[in-house]
A and B are shown apart, each in its own frame.
Chain A
Amino acid sequence: MTVLRRIAGKLGGLLLTLFLASLLVFFSRFLVPGDPVAFLLRGRKPSPEAVAQITAQYGLDLPPWQQYLHWAAGIFQGDLGRSLQYRQDVTVVLAERLPVTLGLVVMAGTMIAVVGLIAGAAAALYRGRIADRSILIGLTVLGAIPSFVGSIVLIAVFAVQLGWFPSFGSGEGFWDTVYHLVLPSTALAIVFVVLVGKVTRSSMIDQLDREHVEVAISRGMKRGTVVRRHVFRNAVGPILTVSGMLVAGLLVASSVVEAAFGLAGIGSLLVQSVDRLDFPVVQAIVLLVVIAFVLVNAVIDVLEPWIDPRSAAGAGAR
Chain B
Amino acid sequence: MTPTPTLAVTVMRAPRRPRAGLTFAIALGVLAAMTLAAIFAPFLAPYNPDAVDFAAVNAGPSSAHWLGTDGLGRDTLSRLIYGARTALLGPLLVVVASTVLGILLGLLAGWRGGWVDAALGRVFDVLFAFPSLLIAIMAVALFGKGLAAPVIAMSIAYAPFVARLTRSLIAAERSRPYVAAYRVQGFGGAWIALRRVLPNVTPIVGAQSTLNFGYVLAELAALSFLGLGVQPPTADWGAMINESQAGLLGGHFLPAIVPAVAVVVVVVAVNIIGEELSDRIGGGSRS
Contacts and interface: CB of A to CB of B under 8 A. Distances in A.
Given A24-B126, A153-B257, A127 B15 contact: yes
B55 interface: no
B221 A146 contact: yes
A273 B138 CA distance: 11
A255 B226 contact: yes
A141 B163 CA distance: 28
A281 to B, nearest CB: 10
A21 B214 CA distance: 27
B251 A16 contact: no
Contacts of A214: 12
Interface stretch (B34-42, B100-108, B191-199, B265-273): B265-273
B82 to A, nearest CB: 19
Nearest to A251: B131
Interface string A31-65: 11000000000000000000000000000000000
A2 to B, nearest CB: 20
A3 interface: no
B122 interface: yes
Interface centre among A13, A127, A144, A145 (most CB of B within 10 A): A144
B227 interface: yes
Given A146-B218, A209-B13, A271 B227 contact: yes
Contacts of A253: 131, 133, 222
Interface residues of A, number: 57
Nearest to B5: A211
Interface stretch (B58-66, B180-188, B241-249): B241-249
A256 interface: yes
A149 B260 contact: yes
A248 B264 contact: no
B241 A286 contact: no
A259 B226 contact: yes
B225 A148 contact: yes
A256 B141 contact: no
Contacts of B264: 141, 144-145, 149
Interface in B248-265: 248-249, 251, 253, 256-257, 260, 263-265
A248 B157 CA distance: 14
Contacts, number: 135
B140 interface: yes
A17 B245 contact: no
A6 interface: no
Contact of A274 (B17, B137, B249, B271): B137
Interface residues of B, number: 49
A149 B263 contact: yes
A140 B143 contact: no
B122 A140 contact: no
A156 B138 contact: no
Given A153-B260, A271-B227, A271-B228, A147 B222 contact: yes
A286 B9 CA distance: 50
B227 A275 contact: yes
B131 A289 contact: yes
A144 B271 contact: yes
A112 interface: no
B260 A211 contact: no
A17 B17 CA distance: 41
Contacts of A170: none
A28 interface: yes
Given A167-B249, A256-B222, A148 B257 contact: no
A302 B64 CA distance: 63
Contacts of A73: none
Contact of A152 (B17, B218, B245): B245
A140 B245 contact: no
B141 A282 contact: yes
A149 B248 CA distance: 13
B222 A148 contact: yes
B137 to A, nearest CB: 6
A271 B226 contact: yes
A155 B140 CA distance: 28
A255 B271 contact: no
B71 interface: no
A21 B137 CA distance: 16
Interface string B5-49: 000010011011100000000000000000000000000000000
B159 to A, nearest CB: 15
19 contacts: A17-B122, A144-B268, A148-B241, A149-B263, A152-B256, A152-B257, A156-B256, A214-B12, A249-B133, A253-B133, A256-B222, A271-B228, A274-B141, A275-B227, A275-B228, A286-B134, A289-B131, A289-B134, A294-B129
Given A146-B219, A149-B241, 19 more contacts: A17-B126, A21-B130, A29-B142, A31-B142, A140-B272, A140-B275, A144-B218, A146-B221, A148-B221, A156-B248, A156-B256, A191-B218, A248-B134, A251-B131, A256-B222, A270-B137, A271-B137, A277-B141, A293-B129
Closest 5 CB pairs of A and B: A144-B267, A146-B218, A144-B268, A148-B225, A252-B131
